[in-house]
Chains A and B, each alone.
Chain A
Amino acid sequence: MTHFLPEGTVKIAAQNLGVFYGEKQALHAINLDIRAGEVTALIGPSGCGKSTFLRCINRMNDMVDGARVEGSLTLDGNDIYDRGIDVVQLRARVGMVFQKPNPFPKSIYDNVAYGPRIHGMAKDQTELDEIVMNSLEKAGLLGEVEDRLSESGTSLSGGQQQRLCIARAIAVSPEIILMDEPCSALDPIATAKVEELIDELRENFTIVIVTHSMQQAARVSQRTAFFHLGKVVEMGDTEQIFTNPQHTLTQGYITGRFG
């Protein structure tokens, strides 16, 4: 496995990262750099370990009984799996958006205010209001929900719910946003809106997105990593991966010959 040297600043770096679920090894010796201020797409067939890798970055795998990690995974040079790392603080820096929109059964306002509240980010109500409005604005949702902030988040449409979840993640001011197939439960119009949003968010956040759609990866990402059977087969600029893949497996996958 080649180690892909960074061109920009490396935000997240995996070195010989391996992940096990009990006896079963889901990731094998992953070497991967994710650069700041870019959108990195993770592609590959189902079950190849994309979600597993994503969930290492904010240590969501800690929740899974029997999950074990070896090798190193660093964020700004600090080991994410170091004993001294506070998971709560890590997750404040690394936000996550899930495959299925999962707004809390609370008001739209409270959904967005949830993170800032648990992290004590606002001194008073005015500041909290500001954070909430700002996040909704950045998530491109403010116009649609401005006059119904007290309605339940679950009353929104699927696409709006997903953007609400993005706003909820943004509200904590993370440095990185992880997205695990964020559009797979959305219709094409809602998908287009979310993709547009991802492009805008790139200015302020480092984004790692898992996607099953080649077009989506091509549209939103600058760098793409192709996973296969728990390994990174190829990693490079998105354009290069899609126009001139180095590996036959990659070529097979992006031309739709398997997967």
Chain B
Amino acid sequence: MQTLILAGALLLMMSFAYRFGRNRVLAQVDGRPDALHSLPGYYGWWVALWCGLPAFGLLTLWLMAEPSLIRALVIGSLPSEMQALSDDQIAVLINEVRNAVLGHATANPALAMAAEHYTHLTRVGFAAMAAVALALALGGGLYAYGRLEPQLRARPRVEATVKVFLVASSTAAIFTTIGIVLSLLFEALRFFQMVPITDFLFGLGWSPQMSIRADQTGSSGAFGMVPLFTGTLLVSVVAMVVAAPLGLLAAIYMSEYAQPKVRAMAKPLLEILAGIPTVVFGFFAVITVAPMIRSLGEVFGLTVAAESALAAGLVMGITLIPLISSLSDDVITAVPQSLREGAFGLGATRSETIIQVVLPAALPGIVGGILLAVSRAIGETMIVVMAAGLSAKLTFNPLEAVTTVTVQIVTLLIGDTEFDSPKTLAAFALGLVLFGITLGLNVVALHIVQKYREKYD
């Protein structure tokens, strides 16, 4: 709350700085902007940035450093016998102090004192920081205000600052990704110290539950990912068999046949389909599709498991139709009209034109879209958790229950988890494999799409 007020105050100062800076530089040239090096607004921004940046920088630093700083000071103020305790025990004490600060009174008088100290430090620290920040804002603003002159190169400076911000934002996203990948990698490496990587990659059995039984050592559970991988593959293949033709045909209809009115109606409808949460689709798969397939199978004398790869795959395929159709629609529409006219001009019919000219021209883009959908199918979780089953069976029969990489990651991490058991760490190894596969597919797909783009732009 205090922080927000401070930030608000700083923003307010920045807006004043903007106005003063702009007005002053305009006054310097008697209101004739053409005598300025840059547009007047840039001078305003320049002053505002000088006013705001140092102060916000301080605020950010404070927010990052404050907890550990205060913690160190509070520990320093504790009685010496408490300070002699081990780190873990001190952590417990500090926790109690924090609770006391929040109003849960503590029985220990030393800790109660420490809590008071804590509150005091927080308050004083913030007040001091706020004072410095406001002073910085004022000082920075005045400094820049004093240096304003018509020949000041305000625009390049403001633009450079903007660029720094943009670079910082994009690196933040990149570093987050790198961090996630690294943590996946390290946890997976820990797992591979317990279970040989070859056993994991090529093992045919998956039963991680065994490994947590007391009478067995961790690495004797079966951690072969092949059955999970085949399960993922099976469901994805079923999904793509549904999604690729339907999505593509829908795209062809929309881009080549549909009247503008129909198109205007149908496109948003397809997008609504894309917006339905996958959990709802999972529901639909379990409640409706699976029983339907089952009774249909009975008609033909087939035994179908209550949860089957077929049910999950079918429903997943439906969820992928909008993705494929909208990507394909884009690339089909991007095929130059002149190619169609060329074919029509030779006497080709509409379907001949589409099959022989438009689709081949759009093919790379369509393949790219389908690969993106495959990578989505492989990573899809909710529908398979609900509808594919849990049995890690090495099978290519879509009527049986299977389990997938994503389903196993979920089950491994649900419930009581110890963060150093192979069972838990296996999830990271699976995650790493999944990440590797989808990354590879995405790179290939994007590369193909890119290549296609270059051809017609």
Contact of B343 among A87, A95, A114, A119 (CB under 8 A): A114
Contact of B345 among A89, A91, A100, A105 (CB under 8 A): A91
Q: How far is the CB of B148 from chain A (nearest CB, A)?
A: 53
CB-CB < 8 A to B348: which residues of A?
Answer: 88, 114, 118
Binding-face segment, A36-44, A165-173, A196-204, A235-243: A165-173
Asked whether any CB of chain B lies closer than 8 Å to the CB of A189, the reply is no
Alpha-carbon gap, A98 to B357, bound state (A): 16
Chain B residue nearest to A119 (CB atoms) is B347
Chain B window 331-374, contacts with chain A (Cβ cutoff 8 Å), 1 for yes, 0 for no? 00000101101111111110010001100110000000000000
CB-CB < 8 A to A106: which residues of B?
Answer: 360
Chain A residue nearest to B339 (CB atoms) is A102
Alpha-carbon gap, A154 to B360, bound state (A): 14
Asked whether any CB of chain A lies closer than 8 Å to the CB of B455, the reply is yes
Chain A residue nearest to B352 (CB atoms) is A118
> In the bound complex, do residue B347 and residue A102 qualify as a contact, i.e. CB atoms below 8 Å apart?
no
Q: How far is the CB of A32 from chain B (nearest CB, A)?
A: 21
Given contacts A60-B344, A88-B347, A95-B345, contact A114 B339 (CB under 8 A): no
Q: How far is the CB of A23 from chain B (nearest CB, A)?
A: 17
> In the bound complex, do residue B336 and residue A114 qualify as a contact, i.e. CB atoms below 8 Å apart?
no
> In the bound complex, do residue A102 and residue B338 qualify as a contact, i.e. CB atoms below 8 Å apart?
yes
Q: How far is the CB of B341 from chain A (nearest CB, A)?
A: 6
> In the bound complex, do residue B345 and residue A169 qualify as a contact, i.e. CB atoms below 8 Å apart?
yes
Q: How far is the CB of A180 from chain B (nearest CB, A)?
A: 10
Asked whether any CB of chain B lies closer than 8 Å to the CB of A115, the reply is yes
Q: How far is the CB of B363 from chain A (nearest CB, A)?
A: 9
Alpha-carbon gap, A204 to B348, bound state (A): 23
> In the bound complex, do residue B346 and residue A105 qualify as a contact, i.e. CB atoms below 8 Å apart?
no
Contact of A118 among B336, B347, B360 (CB under 8 A): B347
Alpha-carbon gap, A118 to B345, bound state (A): 12
> In the bound complex, do residue A92 and residue B345 qualify as a contact, i.e. CB atoms below 8 Å apart?
no
Near B by CB (< 8 A), chain A positions 36-95 give 58, 60, 63, 65, 87-92, 95
Given contacts A98-B338, A114-B356, A118-B352, contact A104 B343 (CB under 8 A): yes
Contact of B342 among A89, A98, A119, A172 (CB under 8 A): A98
Alpha-carbon gap, A172 to B343, bound state (A): 12
CB-CB < 8 A to A102: which residues of B?
Answer: 336, 338-339, 341-342
Chain B residue nearest to A114 (CB atoms) is B346
Q: How far is the CB of A217 from chain B (nearest CB, A)?
A: 22
> In the bound complex, do residue B361 and residue A105 qualify as a contact, i.e. CB atoms below 8 Å apart?
yes
Near A by CB (< 8 A), chain B positions 291-346 give 336, 338-339, 341-346
CB-CB < 8 A to B345: which residues of A?
Answer: 58, 60, 91, 95-96, 98, 169
Q: How far is the CB of A48 from chain B (nearest CB, A)?
A: 21
> In the bound complex, do residue B341 and residue A168 qualify as a contact, i.e. CB atoms below 8 Å apart?
no
Contact of B341 among A98, A115, A169 (CB under 8 A): A98
Count of A-B contacts with CB under 8 A? 66
Q: Looking at B342, B344, B347, which has the most chain A CB atoms within 10 Å of its CB?
A: B347
Near A by CB (< 8 A), chain B positions 422-457 give 455
Given contacts A104-B357, A106-B360, contact A172 B338 (CB under 8 A): no
CB-CB < 8 A to B346: which residues of A?
Answer: 91-92, 95, 114-115, 118, 168-169, 172
Q: How far is the CB of B83 from chain A (nearest CB, A)?
A: 77
Chain B residue nearest to A59 (CB atoms) is B344
Chain A residue nearest to B350 (CB atoms) is A63
Chain B residue nearest to A117 (CB atoms) is B356
Q: How far is the CB of B358 from chain A (nearest CB, A)?
A: 10
Alpha-carbon gap, A135 to B434, bound state (A): 54
CB-CB < 8 A to A63: which residues of B?
Answer: 341, 344
> In the bound complex, do residue A89 and residue B341 qualify as a contact, i.e. CB atoms below 8 Å apart?
no
Given contacts A104-B357, A106-B360, contact A60 B341 (CB under 8 A): yes
Alpha-carbon gap, A230 to B260, bound state (A): 28
Alpha-carbon gap, A115 to B353, bound state (A): 11
> In the bound complex, do residue B339 and residue A104 qualify as a contact, i.e. CB atoms below 8 Å apart?
yes
Near A by CB (< 8 A), chain B positions 31-82 give none
Alpha-carbon gap, A60 to B357, bound state (A): 17
CB-CB < 8 A to A165: which residues of B?
Answer: 342
Near B by CB (< 8 A), chain A positions 82-136 give 87-92, 95-96, 98, 100, 102-106, 114-115, 118-119
CB-CB < 8 A to B347: which residues of A?
Answer: 87-92, 115, 118-119, 172
CB-CB < 8 A to A169: which residues of B?
Answer: 345-346
CB-CB < 8 A to B260: which residues of A?
Answer: 65
Chain A residue nearest to B353 (CB atoms) is A118
CB-CB < 8 A to A91: which residues of B?
Answer: 344-347
Chain A window 160-178, contacts with chain B (Cβ cutoff 8 Å), 1 for yes, 0 for no? 0000010011001000000
Alpha-carbon gap, A98 to B346, bound state (A): 12
Q: How far is the CB of A92 from chain B (nearest CB, A)?
A: 4
> In the bound complex, do residue B344 and residue A100 qualify as a contact, i.e. CB atoms below 8 Å apart?
no
CB-CB < 8 A to A114: which residues of B?
Answer: 343, 346, 348, 356
Q: How far is the CB of B452 from chain A (nearest CB, A)?
A: 10
CB-CB < 8 A to A105: which residues of B?
Answer: 339, 360-361, 455
CB-CB < 8 A to B357: which residues of A?
Answer: 104
Q: Looking at B336, B345, B349, which has the most chain A CB atoms within 10 Å of its CB?
A: B345
Chain A residue nearest to B342 (CB atoms) is A102
Alpha-carbon gap, A197 to B298, bound state (A): 71
CB-CB < 8 A to A154: which residues of B?
Answer: 455
Q: How far is the CB of B258 from chain A (nearest CB, A)?
A: 12
Alpha-carbon gap, A103 to B455, bound state (A): 13
Q: How far is the CB of B48 from chain A (nearest CB, A)?
A: 51
Chain B residue nearest to A110 (CB atoms) is B356
Other A-B pairs beyond A91-B345, A98-B338, A168-B346, 20, CB < 8 Å: A58-B345, A60-B345, A65-B260, A88-B348, A95-B345, A104-B339, A104-B361, A105-B361, A105-B455, A114-B343, A114-B348, A115-B346, A118-B346, A118-B347, A118-B349, A118-B352, A119-B347, A165-B342, A169-B345, A169-B346
Instruction: Offer 5 A-B interface pairs, CB within 8 angstroms, sorted by A.
Output: A89-B347, A91-B344, A96-B345, A102-B336, A105-B360
Task: Mark B residues whose CB is within 8 Å of A.
Answer: 260, 336, 338-339, 341-349, 352, 356-357, 360-361, 455
